[in-house]
Amino acid sequence: MSLLQLDQTSREALRAAGADMSPYEIDHHLTSHELLTLEALADLAASLPESSVEHNIGDLPDVVADGNAPSLDMPIRDLVMTIPENGAWAVLKNIEQDPRYAALLDECLDEIETLVTGEDLSISREGFVFLSSPGSVTPTHIDPEYNVLLQVQGEKTMTTGTWRNREDRQVEAERLRAGGHRNLDAPLATRTDHPLSPGRGVFVPPYTPHIVKNGPAPSISLSVTWNTQGLTDEALLHRINSYVRRTGMSPKEPGARNGVDRLKLGSFRLAQRAKRVVR
């Protein structure tokens, strides 16, 4: 039996999400798992590199553009174990560094991935676990991957927005890919709420602006993400375009001129190979 046990409605929702790259809600059966208990996650957090654990207070405004927020001064294992009452928000990044969680990630994405991106198969998979105290806020931000957020414990609301225009999306994607913070400097221009309780999930397309607000109980969510070659090429084009924009030019968004895109990618990769040879 599959881990998520996606029903036909959820499978059709993911296919629709892949067709129009819009957020879609799904149902799943990952509402309890031995690797997703607080104790198991506390052990995982303590075993991960420091760079793979991010945490801060959960009582934040909707917009924190620079991403700076106070953190709690306590051992990470204690922070995770006391998430029900300590007022914190935490994310465990790249959980696939632990072979057990890599297997969990693969089980989830083996059910999801091809429904969304079809034959443009993943070249990388990454998993993230979000732990939130009651009332915690994840400020308005964007993420660069294909993402399905699976609610395991507690309730939260993800609110997605749309861009005012394609240029705004392009500029923010360039900023992120050039090393900028994922957080945005303005609230959502439009709002669609996606209430999430255990057994509910939502697909979030790359670079979709969104904010997450936790409910009255502690929350555990699993984010399963993947990148395809097409998305990786787009990311590199955003990075290249960020350099071009600094010269005062206004580069076209990826996909607007495929021939120019291929030239940019080829030239950049050739330059990178030449650098490695010189070194």
Q: What is the rounded distance in angstroms from the CA atom of residue 190 to the CA atom of residue 161?
A: 5
* pLDDT at residue 279, as a whole number: 62
3-class SS of residue 44: helix
* pLDDT at residue 278, as a whole number: 63
Domain boundaries along the sequence of the chain: 8-228, 232-278
Residue 179 φ/ψ region, left for φ over 0, alpha for ψ in the -120 to 50 degree band, beta for the rest: left
Q: Are 35 and 66 in contact (CB under 8 A)?
A: no
Cα radius of gyration rounded to whole Å, the chain: 19
Q: Are 69 and 60 in contact (CB under 8 A)?
A: yes
* pLDDT at residue 85, as a whole number: 98
Q: Closest Cα partner for 42 from 87, 77, 89, 86? A: 77
The CATH H-level superfamily of 8-228 is: Cupin (2.60.120.650)
* pLDDT at residue 276, as a whole number: 72
- Average confidence (pLDDT) per 10 residues, the chain, 279 residues: 95 97 98 98 98 98 95 96 98 99 98 93 96 98 98 99 95 95 96 99 99 99 97 94 89 86 83 70
Q: What is the rounded distance in angstroms from the CA atom of residue 70 to the CA atom of residue 67?
A: 10
* pLDDT at residue 244, as a whole number: 87
3-class SS of residue 182: coil
Q: Are 207 and 172 in contact (CB under 8 A)?
A: yes
Farthest-apart Cα atoms in the chain, separation: 57
* pLDDT at residue 270, as a whole number: 81
Residue 277: what residue type? Answer: V
